[in-house]
Amino acid sequence: MTVGTLRNAQLVINQQAIFNNVKNAVQHTDDQTDLFIVLKANGYGHGAIQVARIAEKAGAKGFCVAILEEALELREAGFNEPILVLGITDPTLAPLAAENHIALTISATDWLEEAAAAMAVDPRLPKLAIHVALDTGMGRIGFQTPAELTAGLETLQTHQDVFIFEGIFTHFATADSKDDAYFKKQYANFQELMAVVAHKPRYVHVANTATSLWHHVCGANMVRYGISTYGLNPSGREITKLPYDLHPALTFTAGLSYVKKIAKGKSVGYGATYTADEDQWIGTVPVGYADGFPRKMQGFSVLVDGQPCPIVGRVCMDQFMIRLPKSYAAGTTVTIIGKSGDRQVTVDDLADYIGTINYEVICEFGERLRRKYV
């Protein structure tokens, strides 16, 4: 993917903000609990390798990713910390994971049998670390009943020559909600499943970011710290009380590529969905939905010189247009996310406008956008 290094459009990542967020999380975690930073989706759009380096310095003990390729990228970059792949990996890739000391998640007994067969091909391989997923109500992956889990653990024990039972975990579906009824139901299910685990592994983990912020769960010793690494509230605007401050790390800016005056009655953009009701100044911004800035942002206001400027017409693949209060020179900064003057646009503002969550907004920003680390 080509990166737009010559285009005046960039995501500016504040490294100190990420450091502070991780450091605060470490300090609010007890000494017996390890903080693992979630770096999937290119560090939630912030750059996985760069974020990993910062998190390492701030005291993180390990990393979580979604797919094996993301883990391999970290190993190739020289990271030696424990890495867990949270998604299900093809069992034939077990040798590759073992060779690179990457832990894999399992959700079924059959997976263990297939992976054991793959591992047996090369007896020189190190043992593969396994984390057992429990489905307590998320409905995604994991053993659902004590009987299923017992069978899985017995199979894991049978193949202890190739596997290490390193971890067991679940994921809460509503930890970011004020209503904790479903959370309590899941926690009860978790305790029921854990009752058949005779010997606990090195890591027992149930806490995603939201759980770590608002819930106390006994018997766990690892936190999977995700969205708040990047300074964002996992609950959006529903729960605003936090145990420590979060520092948003991402700013999104671009420079006006073109400015013109149009006459009353002239239309702007595909479908001619905007028509000027008077003579007005229009600025073009060199960013579009190919960069992860949604097509349906028409009407949303970005900032120029501290002034809100509405997006007029539909967002194009590579550009969008804004109404300006006056003429500005080409190159003038447009703040899409961040502060300008005494005003600010947040990731949550974008998310609210298009009816989604802050996670999706930042993960959609494409590789074509230059990441600038300050």
Q: Which residues are catalytic?
A: 40, 270
3-class DSSP state of 228: helix
Residue linked to tokens 């710290």: 225
3-class DSSP state of 133: strand
Joined tokens for residue 297: 């942002």
Q: What angle do CA 175, 136, 198 make, to 5 degrees?
A: 120
3-class DSSP state of 78: coil
What are the φ/ψ torsions at residue 154 (nearest 5 degrees)? -65, -40
In the chain, count H helices and then E strands: 11, 20
Q: Could you give the residue ranges of the DSSP H alpha helices within the chain?
A: 15-27, 40-44, 48-58, 68-76, 94-99, 109-120, 146-158, 181-194, 209-214, 347-354, 358-364
What are the φ/ψ torsions at residue 351 (nearest 5 degrees)? -60, -45
Joined tokens for residue 37: 């930073």
Residue linked to tokens 């007994």: 109
Q: In DSSP terms, which residues pair with 333 in a beta bridge?
A: 255
Q: Is 323 annotated as a binding residue?
A: no
Q: Is 297 annotated as a binding residue?
A: no
d(CA 71, CA 53): 14
Detail the residues annotated as belonging to a binding site: 140, 317
> Annotated binding residues for substrate, as ranges?
140, 317
